[in-house]
Amino acid sequence: MAAAAAAAPVGAAPRVGLLYDDRMCAHATPDGEKHPENPERLRAIRRKLDAEGVASRCVDMKAKEAKEKYIASVHTPNHIKLIRDISSKEYDYRRNKTARKFNSIYFNEGSSESAFLAAGSVIEVAEKVASGELSSAIALVRPPGHHAEHNEPMGFCLFNNVAIAANYLLNERPDLGINKILIVDWDVHHGNGTQKMFYSDPRVLFFSVHRFDYGSFYPCEGDASHCFIGEGAGEGYNINVPWEHGKCSDADYVAAWDHVLLPIAEAFDPDIILLSAGFDAAMGDPLGGCCITPDGYALLLTKLLGFAKGRIVMALEGGYNLKSIANSVCACTKVLLGDNFTYNSPRMQPFESTWRVIQMVRDELKAYWPVLSSKLPDNVPLRSAPSYIEPYASSGSESDVEDVSELPDAISSVNVTQVVDDVLSEHITMLKLDEDNLATKNTSSDSVQAQDDGPVVAATRIYDLLFTWRSALSKVYVWYASFGSNMWKPRFLCYIEGGKVDGMSISCFGSHDTSPPRGTMWKTVPHRLFFGRSSTPCWGTGGVAFLNPEINYNDESYVCMYKITLEQFNDVLFQENRLVKDNSEDGKLESPSSPLIGLSEIESVSSNKALHLEPIKDSWYSNVLHLGEEDGLPILTMTCPSTAVAQHKSGELPLAPPSETYSATLIKGLVEGKQLDTHEAANYISAAAARSL
């Protein structure tokens, strides 16, 4: 077999491989629960390709399971054994418990086969493209792979499919002449697993463009920032383009291509391109919050065809809106097949923040890639930041949810407001060493010290994430709606200023920002107020207030709304769920180093009306509800998840009337807020405590 076989002759129809195998649909949630990463993702894509007559023009391919020795090039023996055995009968009674040990992972009886097929499929298509048997190929695989770490599954990903295929080409098939690989990851989430696996390898140029949101967007790791550029021989070969917020569209991605990726790709001159093709930055995706159109993806892919003789392997990663993922994959397939493509855009204006991020990336990498030393174009028309970033006033913006019915033809308009971003622009340059991020991880028996566990993601500089997210979210305003003791303003101010009021046994720690609310107002909401649990450290014996997450227009509950920053909302959330601790040794408070609710979560909860916070899923107030908008700002509250409501109904968790002191606090709030008189307020509380769920 000739090394580095030539591309198809000029004028010849491209031979595009299309790998789809329904066996990879066997991986699903164990009890049929709804989940964004589900088998319908593959089936929707296949239906679209068939309906458009695209699939029949491709070379049909079937999946093959990867051999363990190839998977072992990037994953530990214990990791491989877990995925191989997790679907066996021996795990029937502990499969769910095992899944809970990992970050955003589920398993079922079909997980093992699907994972081995996904990894083997990307190897299969990559080998055929590298050999010249195919011009390019698309591997419709799941579970996805780019979050999977060396020693554990993560973020819906079981094996790192693209990393396994890259290692196979470089180390197992030298006869194919693949010496340099460009991995492009355009999934909206950072490809943390892939980055770590090639962090010191100059044979692999890894490029990831993703939402970062100052460290608050999944996977919420500092090494997704632009200053992580590789180490040792691989220094300069790791490129991160970290967006500061959502709503990034075709224009933003094209700018990153034209001013970062393409100049470096030309200098690197790859032999093949492996594309971690996640489509969760697509317009209408429930997790991504960005706005790339199908034509936008097609344009990005078209721009890559000029490299590596057009040898491109697309491996599916994320993408959770069935219509947008199907339309986007179809548009990309037509590009690979050589169909004429014209991009028509009513607007091509990147965000101001995009231009700033691109400049930072270029400054970081220009010592390694001199082509980046040139000055960026002047007088480029730019958009200001999305309207959910509120400096000090509301904007009256519409919902952040895109109208997916417009796909694929329209590029949605985005309501924007001018943002005072002096602080944000300063944060991007304030860097320090984050020792916690550099610490060796020992999460399983096969974890080893950093020098043996693949490249350590260690740069001499990293964002001060704690400072950065707080400063960023201090510019974002929301309405916090309280239905419990916080309806009484002096009680609520304990969460902001610290301290306690009469009836409380313990003091609150307060917020980092002790500024008072910028506004207060009342309203009623169609949710059932009830009192659950039997005692609390703060109020003693008796139930405390919860709202049933389910809407019921026969119910009417009072809420007192405080206009506070999203930073303050997170501090209230931390305290409600007892996540703030007093370090008695040095007297300093310890609180989470990243927010539970960032800009991406605001988008998600606005779209889905509720967001159960996975990191604190077992806490009492782990469910954030979106109760509507007021003056263009979201109204948020925190309550129990629906699963807890079911447990209260069944008696597994107790329902209990509130204590006298707790009731008195609620009554003070309702009376001083001029909603009810004392007698009416007492009856309101008693009725809520007496009603069954």
| Candidate list 147, 150, 226, 245, residue with the active-site label | 147
Would you call the peptide bond into 386 cis, given omega within 30 degrees of 0 as the criterion? Answer: no
- Work out the pLDDT band at 453, boundaries 50, 70, 90: very low
Active site residue 35: no
pTM recorded for the entire structure: 0.64
Three-class secondary structure assignment of 600-636:
HHHHHHHHHCEEECHHHCCCCCCEEEEEEEECCEEEE
**Distance between CA 469 and CA 486 in Å, rounded?**
25
Does position 347 have pLDDT exceeding 70, yes or no?
Answer: no
Q: Which two tokens stand for residue 50?
A: 């068939």
Please compute the mean of the pLDDT values over residues 461-465 and round it to a whole number.
37
Q: What is the pLDDT of residue 665?
A: 96
- Work out the pLDDT band at 432, boundaries 50, 70, 90: very low
Does position 7 have pLDDT exceeding 70, yes or no?
Answer: no
Does position 409 have pLDDT exceeding 80, yes or no?
Answer: no
Does position 676 have pLDDT exceeding 80, yes or no?
Answer: yes
**DSSP string across 557-613:** EEEEEEEEEHHHHHHHHHHHTT--EE-TTT--EE--SS-SS-HHHHHHHHHHSEEE-
**Distance between CA 7 and CA 204 in Å, rounded?**
21
Place of tokens 């023009």: 57
- Work out the pLDDT band at 586, boundaries 50, 70, 90: low
Q: What is the pLDDT of residue 585?
A: 58
**Distance between CA 239 and CA 230 in Å, rounded?**
8
**Distance between CA 562 and CA 521 in Å, rounded?**
7
**Distance between CA 45 and CA 47 in Å, rounded?**
5
Q: What is the pLDDT of residue 362?
A: 97
Contact 558, 524 (CB under 8 A): yes
Does position 72 have pLDDT exceeding 80, yes or no?
Answer: yes
Q: Closest by alpha carbon to 293, among 277, 304, 279?
A: 279
Length of the chain: 693
**Distance between CA 361 and CA 355 in Å, rounded?**
10
Contact 161, 315 (CB under 8 A): yes
Q: Which of 302-316, 424-438, 507-521 has the lowest mean pLDDT?
A: 424-438
